[in-house]
Structure 1
Amino acid sequence: MVFLPFPPLREAVFLERPNRFLLRCRFVDEEKEVVKVHLPDPGRLKEIFLPGRRIWIAVADGVNRKTRFRAVLSERPDGKGFLSLDSTLPNQLVEAALKEKELEEWEGFTLVKREARAGDSRFDFLLHNREGVPLFLEIKSVTLVRGGIGFFPDAVTARGAKHVTELAQLAGKGDQAALLFLAQREDVVEIRPEEEIDPRFAESLRQAKEAGVGIYGRKCKVSLEGVELGDPIPVYL
């Protein structure tokens, strides 16, 4: 199965979150330095970022950055494993899996390109089957888990509802369309829409399924070494 290794990591303790994309953390090594850390996941993550939570950070790539470090993963609330904090990682995993033909959900399909435009939107991936018929695929990252159930979203997402509605429109026109929820942790047995947080998204998802959009779920195995694409899990609407 597809595995993406992490860069060298340093353990730190979460102190506070000044805004959606910024953390303040203290290294646990001898230096105990307090640093600003970029968070590549704008979700609420309220159950994750509690004072004292252990997280692991890496030196950030690129120049002219406001922060030297980026958050990579955190310990789970139950303390029995880890979860990824990078909302871009699911697309990287799926792209690698599609190239290596590791996704049974789309056996017989070939990856054509990322960021495929259809109508007024761009979707994460465009695939073609053996006959050249296109399939538009959108990926959603899941980090919120309660009692083994993964929920999406953890904050209202007008953009997410728009994507789902447009996938339904594509399916209604006879095109193929699919949505994959990828849980960035292993302690997940199923995925559901979070009705209380975003009822509009939940209703859009049900309408998309009725229109013929394929709805799929998978989880990941996360360790201090990297992330591995895990097994399929059901999505209940």
Structure 2
Amino acid sequence: MYFDKKIVNAIFLRRPNRFQAYVKLRDEEIMVHVPNTGRCKEILTTGTTVLLREELGEHRKTAYDLIAGYKGKQLINIDSQIPNKVVFEALKNKKILNLEKYNIIEREKTFGNSRFDFKLSNDLGEEYYLEVKGVTYEENGVVMFPDAPTERGKKHLLELIEAKKQGKGAGVLFLIQLDNVRYFTPYKDMDPNFSAALKLVVESGVDVMAYCCYVTEHSITLKEIVRVKI
């Protein structure tokens, strides 16, 4: 997908809270919105080059969203709204292995006590619930999730197991918002409960998938499958 809004480069200065950051844009210090509640500490370091997306909403307090940052030469997208858009595009274009047979794509559908990102179905009456998790944390080519504890994430995994027990298809897709990675694994030290739930998911027959992306300053697109190590 291509970004249809103006993208500009800036220099990251600091992030006083989850939703706000200060950057230097054309020699002026300004406040911007950060559309990611994760820590992103290894990306958002003082002096690094970041990408801003212009947002001109009438009631906004800031004129830009901080959507990506360079970690060395690696560009990492951190916009938490991007993964679902990338996966939706990939589903429509039949780019996700083993999900090509589903021709009906519904977003934000409820099963049990959880709302999943996608409900897929087809003319044969088959149903599949898919949860998408955006991944931005990387160490030496290894990407991990989550970068902050997530009780909600664990709840989604356990609900996928219930969907599987009821005869539905179920899966979680970790959308890695960068390229050139070795493999994906849960971040056990950050959230051991999520990691334990992910292991249970695998044992229950729920699909666990990971895909990396082509990332440029003006686009992000699903690229290829990444090996998963639980």
Instruction: Tell me the TM-score range normalised by the shorter chain.
Output: over 0.9
For residue 209 of structure 1, report the CA deviation from its aligned partner.
1.2
Structure 2 counterpart of 1:227, from 203, 220, 224:
220
1-side partners of 2:78 and 2:140: how far apart?
20
- Quick check: 1:81–1:222 contact (8 Å CA) kept in 2? no
2-side partners of 1:11 and 1:190: how far apart?
29
Partner of 1:57: 52
For residue 190 of structure 1, report the CA deviation from its aligned partner.
1.0
What one-letter code is carried by the residue in structure 1 that aligns with 2:57? G
- Mind listing any 5+ residue stretches in structure 1 that lack a counterpart? none
1-side partners of 2:87 and 2:200: how far apart?
25
SS of structure 2 residue aligned to 1:204: helix
For residue 131 of structure 1, report the CA deviation from its aligned partner.
1.5
2-side partners of 1:172 and 1:107: how far apart?
22
What one-letter code is carried by the residue in structure 2 that aligns with 1:161? K
Q: Deviations over 1:202-226 (max 9, x none)?
A: 0001111111110000001111121
- Quick check: 2:143–2:183 contact (8 Å CA) kept in 1? yes
Q: Go from structure 1 to structure 2 and tell me whether the alpha carbon gap of 1:112 and 1:11 turns closer, same or farther (over 3 Å shift).
A: closer
2-side partners of 1:157 and 1:5: how far apart?
29
**TM-score, reference length from structure 2:** 0.96
2-side partners of 1:11 and 1:147: how far apart?
25
- Mind listing any 5+ residue stretches in structure 2 that lack a counterpart? none
Give aligned pairs, total: 230
- Quick check: 2:3–2:218 contact (8 Å CA) kept in 1? yes
Q: Does 1:15 align with 2:8?
A: no
4+ runs deviating over 6 angstroms: none
What one-letter code is carried by the residue in structure 1 that aligns with 2:19? F
SS of structure 1 residue aligned to 2:208: strand
**TM-score, reference length from structure 1:** 0.93
Q: Does 1:103 align with 2:96?
A: yes
Q: Does 1:37 align with 2:32?
A: yes
For residue 5 of structure 1, report the CA deviation from its aligned partner.
3.1
- Quick check: 1:10–1:58 contact (8 Å CA) kept in 2? yes
| Cα RMSD (Å) | 1.3
Q: Does 1:46 align with 2:41?
A: yes
Mapping 1:104-119, distance limit 5 Å? 104-119=97-112
